[in-house]
Structure 1
Amino acid sequence: MSKEILINVTPQETRVAILENGVLQEVYIERSRNKGLVGNIYKGRVCRVLPGMEAAFVEVGMDRAAFLHVSDIAPHGDNANKPTISHLLSEGQDVLVQVIKDPMGTKGARLTAHITIPSRYLVFMPNSTNVGVSSRIEDESERERLKTMLLDQKDLLGESGYIIRTAAETATPESMVQDILFLNKLWGSISEKSRAEKAGNVIHEDLSLPMRVLRDMIDDDLERIRVDSRETSRKMQHFAEKLMIEAHSKIEHYPGERPIFDLYGVEDEIQKGLGRKTHLKSGGYLIIDQTEAMTTIDVNTGAFVGHRNLEETIFKTNLEAAQAIARQLRLRNLGGIIIIDFIDMVEEDHRAQVLRALEKALDKDHARTQVCEVSSLGLVEMTRKRTRESLEHVLCETCPTCEGKGYIKSAETACYEVFREILREARQFDAKQLLVLAAQEVIDLLVDEESNSLAELEDFIGVPIKLQVESLYTQEQFDVVIM
């Protein structure tokens, strides 16, 4: 697999596109007005303890208080002996916390007191003594080799814990030492600042998006990183020289006149990623709907092919859909509960193969996923860890006309509501004339197909009715004014 990273930089926002074999897989967007907060460390102050929820709200200087659950404070271990939230925190207490989930919708940020600071090869855990290895490194001998390499530096490790990252497979003992020294120095400055700062202030901000790309997304498959900003490419090369020299030669400035995202077709793919419908090469398609509680994905064949080949066509469509769904989850950054309605398959073996294909396609996903067996209703239930807003929530806002429903009342429905309102007004008030203000589509229907009904209503109430188009009204809006 060949992998390319494209970085588009403007003063207002930075966008990163991850391409695998020339196909867009992931998009990251960081706007100067609304930077992501995940990874930032704050000195917070407990403003409310909720014993019933085993949680607390913490003021960290944001618009809304952030949420801290007892599981993100207490030491990991035996659940039976874990202290309650009331034993750990009290109102007015200062606490050092880190953001693990950005504020989303009406919810505040999610916090943890288990601080973690990543470097190229390691994750530093100052409040732990454990040494672990990334679960993505599956070979047991390799896990032991890396753990031994780290523990050989026990004089530098002190009383803190570490997780060895997947990228450490290519690390040398010298580069591992460099990482430990860097993390020790950084934690020293964070500790010093946390003592001096007032509650509600940020103590440490995570790296900017281009630098996080270097720290977190460099692997053996990466061919190059193309950046359309000369200044940003220089900063990235300088960062690489200090922390990851192997990435230095892969960073290049793109000087072309044509926008870099246009050159690779990324803009078109982003637009497709905002639509409900995703087409499959076989002629089938996916319908993807995001709601507050979950995301639903419906798989359709798109055309009926006859009885003889129907089961085989359904099977092939579902296999293709499994690949497409894994890509769409990454591209749209969909998280939380996801329900997939594959086309019903008669053969048990086909169902098992589609499920395996989905799980294999999800192996490439950086976010943690968990797939359940096919339910009795033929649905596949899965979860995907959500730490930042989806692509739709970053780039879009709720439609003011339909208010997120995805549909509006028809002009015919609005007409009949107008008739009912006219009757209501005529019975309640002594009007000499009524004026109906409505959208163009509703007025057109009233003077055309519903003109007889309007005339009969006018005779019935004995009051003349005038009509007026209001160009700013939506199809659902209308007013009946007494003259």
Structure 2
Amino acid sequence: MNVTDCFLVYDHLEIKGHPFMVLACFRESDKKLIYIRYFDQSRKSLVGNVYSARVEKKVPGVGVFLVIPEGHAFVKEKDAKNPVYIKRQSPRKELSEGDLVLIQIKKDAIKTKEPEATFSIELSTPYFVIRRPGSGVSFSKKLKREDRERFSQISLEKSSLLIRTAASRLDENELYQKISSENKKLEQIFSDGKNHTSPALVFEDLDILNTLLTAFPFAANRLNVTKIKTGDTDICEKLGSCGEFYKDEGLSLLDLYRIRTITERLLSKTVWLSSGANIIIEQTEALTVIDVNSARAKKSLPVSVNREAAAAIAEQIRLRNLSGIIIIDFMKMSSDDERGQIISLMRSLTKSDFAKVNVEDFTKLGLLELTREKIFPSVKQTLTSVLHRDIISDVDAQ
């Protein structure tokens, strides 16, 4: 599979006077949008932070609730294994209330849910992931055999190492030096953590370049980030050789790449197709419902409208970052063969999604069911939860 060059746009976006940062990934060849994320500047993300945290309570079958300086965090039961203790209430018991342990935040708080954490601590770069506790070396499934052989002698003590696809661009010495540097940082985190006697921040990753280059699984999807464009001089300086400063008095960076228009469309329920048909996307608390309508495509056959709609739906699911249960009401199909073709098409279209998508089957009522892994909040959740509005009609670039 060939590697596709892409570039990132990272800049300030103001919506109804509220500050956001937007990160958009475009394909280099045709400037097509691949991914987009919004970051609320008034709410600092805790993802990646390492804390000494005090166990507040354990709930069997649910997980562990802990106290951190910002409030509370939650570790799911499946992630509540092999905790690194700083202070134990009893050396004979398993994890107990009052124990002080190391945790790392992996998901920010969403609505009423606490930030989600894990007892394993990891440092992630575009080239590899180091995790502790752990052991052994593994490789990305997309890393070629010759590259696996080149890196087969690399190993770590006390930690597991995942070598990513992007490591293929490095020679053995370069990769080893980067791994050694991050491993020393991990050692320091554990050393610092042992010095705390109460809930406290132990580590915060302030490397903006690494943050942006790991915001999406670029390498796993064979995407090579060539540059990061920004209109902020301070950010550009921090990005080093990867940064490209944009300045044009007549046309802002976000206007150049139509980010404001894209944002408006991603918040709209209706998506028009080139045939004149449309899809209606309704997000609810429980699930997302998508309806395919012929609308103005009166002369188009249902089968062609459904195929066109399937491509648009797969793209909208990815760009809007829809997750959970998704129900699609395609135009009526006359045979199982047509339905089978749509299922195969949806599976093919969602195969490259950065989140895991399971296309199930049609129900007795003719609705297609699928589920998508939740990694980030949806675009609507991120933007409208802050502004308490269903539709945002005033998007301004700073």
Computed over aligned residues only, the root mean square deviation of the Cα atoms, in angstroms, reads 2.8
- Note if 1:72 corresponds to 2:79: yes
User: Is the alpha carbon distance of 1:199 and 1:335 closer, same or farther for their aligned partners in structure 2, counting shifts above 3 Å?
Assistant: farther
Hey, what does 2:41 align to over in structure 1?
A: 32
Change (3 A) 1:399 1:263: closer
Which residue number corresponds to residue 280 of structure 1? 273
Residues 295-304 or 270-279, more deviating: 295-304
Residues 54 and 389 of structure 1, relative CA distance in 2, 3 Å threshold: closer
- Aligned residue pairs, count: 368
> Is 1:120 aligned to 2:108, yes or no?
no
1:220, distance to aligned residue in structure 2 (A): 5.0
Name structure 1 gaps, 5 residues minimum: 76-85, 238-247, 407-483
1:49 aligns with one of 58, 65, 86: 58
Shift of 1:261: 1.1
1:267 equivalent in alignment to 2:267? no
Higher relative contact order (CA 8 A, sep 6+): 2
What is aligned with 2:89? none
Residue 253 of structure 1 is matched in structure 2 by 245
Match of 1:17 in 2: 24
Counterparts of 1:128 and 1:44 in 2: how far apart (Å)? 21
Between the aligned partners of 1:87 and 1:334, the Cα distance in structure 2 is 42
The structure where helix makes up a greater share of residues is: 1
Q: Which has more strand, going by share of residues?
A: 2
Deviation at 1:350, TM superposition (A): 2.6
Q: 1:351 to 1:173 in 2, by over 3 A?
A: same
Q: What do residues 214-266 of structure 1 show as CA deviations (whole Å, max 9, x unaligned)?
A: 355476554543211222112111xxxxxxxxxx3x63211112211111212
1:332-383 deviation digits (Å, cap 9, x = unpaired): 1222222222222223333233223222222332222222233333222222
Q: String of CA shifts for 1:61-101, please: whole Å, max 9, x gaps.
A: 234x32212210236xxxxxxxxxx9642111112112222
**How much has 1:212 moved relative to structure 2?**
1.8
Classify the secondary structure of the residue corresponding to 1:396: helix
Question: Does the alignment pair 1:6 with 2:9?
Answer: yes
Q: Counterpart amino acid of 2:362?
A: V
**How far apart, CA to CA, are the structure 2 residues paired with 1:31 and 1:18?**
18
Q: Distance in 2 between matches of 1:190 and 1:131?
A: 21
CA deviation map 1:394-417 (0-9, x unaligned): 2114997xx97x9xxxxxxxxxxx
Please say if residues 100 and 387 of structure 1, whose CA atoms lie closer than 8 Å, have aligned partners that are also in contact.
no
**What is the one-letter code of the residue matched to 1:264?**
Y
Secondary structure in 2 matching 1:49: strand
TM-score norm. by structure 2 comes to 0.83
- 1:173 shift after superposition: 0.8
TM-score (norm 1): 0.69
CA gap 1:215/1:67 in 2 versus in 1, 3 angstroms = closer
In the alignment, is the contact (CA less than 8 A) between 2:289 and 2:328 conserved in 1?
yes
Q: Which residue of 2 aligns with 1:60?
A: 68
CA distance in 1, matches of 2:81, 2:269: 42
What is the rounded CA distance, in whole Å, between the counterparts of 1:22 and 1:133 in structure 2?
A: 31
Q: Give the aligned partner of residue 87 of structure 2.
A: none
Larger gyration radius, structure 1 or structure 2? 1
Give 3-state SS (helix, strand or coil) of 2:121's partner: coil
Q: Per the alignment, do residues 374 and 210 of structure 1 end up closer, same or farther by CA in structure 2, a change over 3 Å counting?
A: farther
Equivalents in 1 of 2:198, 2:333: separation in Å?
58
Task: Name stretches of at least 5 consecutive residues in structure 2 with no aligned partner.
Answer: 83-91, 392-398
